[in-house]
Amino acid sequence: MTARTFDRIKLNRNNRFYILVLNVCKLIWQSTLPDKNKEGKYEFIDFTEDEFCMNAVFERFLMNFCKQHCKEEYPEAHREEIDFKLTPYGMMFKEQVEEARRVLPVMQTDITLFNPSTNKKHILDAKYYREALVSKYAGNKKIRREHLSQILSYVMNQENPQKPETMNADGTLVYPTVADDFDFSYSYGDTNHHIHVRTINLNQPWQKIEERVKEIVKMEGIARQKPCF
């Protein structure tokens, strides 16, 4: 059996209620290794120690939550591919230009939310890390530079003057935590874009977690006007 065994299973509306069970089975299978000390036995690895695995779980949780509980605010929730706004130049031959285009990577968002009736667009980037903020040489804790660059790149490269929603899109970094929540919001230059950094405290009742996620997704209580100081 391989991970592809699970991927080959076709789900439809008649059996889609098995998807949770299948995903749990896949997670258990991926987290099981042969026991070094007992032949024919297996041991379960604590997947919560695997940041890559937990990031995938956290990302899937946010996506499914948005699809189920935020339909009114954002009817559409999906992953979006975004091209870098880079145009090849300085090459004499068409083949060179085409190759230069091919080598450019494509960005893919974790979650893109969109409401076609209001032209509201919100990009969420799920980040599962033990510490949302980091410090260097025991200095003040700061947002991770690479995460901020990534969400900014999503927001700026998705712009298309022919699509109004892209010119007003917001981006949010979302971190899980078991400590206190924090909320940081920034306007980007003279654009209509806003960047947010949010945490979800998972060490609380699920009702509170639900309230918090809705607050983050819908950006409740956040004024879009720029600061006056």
The interaxial angle of helices 206-218 and 51-69, nearest 10 deg, is: 80
Q: How many CA atoms lie within 13 Å of 95's alpha carbon, on the beta-carbon side?
A: 0
- The pLDDT value recorded for residue 24 is 74
- The pLDDT value recorded for residue 1 is 55
Rounded to whole angstroms, the Cα distance separating 193 from 224 reads 9
- The pLDDT value recorded for residue 4 is 64
Would you say the C-alpha torsion 123, 128, 133, 134 has a positive or negative sign?
A: negative
Q: In a structure prediction context, what are the per-residue pLDDT tens digits for the chain, which is 229 residues long? A: 555 666 677 777 777 667 777 777 777 777 676 766 667 676 666 555 666 777 888 898 999 999 999 999 999 999 999 999 999 998 888 899 999 999 999 999 999 999 999 999 999 999 988 778 888 777 788 899 999 999 999 999 999 999 999 999 999 999 998 676 789 999 999 999 999 999 998 888 999 999 999 999 987 655 555 554 5
- The pLDDT value recorded for residue 36 is 64
- The pLDDT value recorded for residue 32 is 74
In one-letter notation, the amino acid at residue 30 is: Q
- The pLDDT value recorded for residue 25 is 76
Rounded to whole angstroms, the Cα distance separating 72 from 218 reads 10
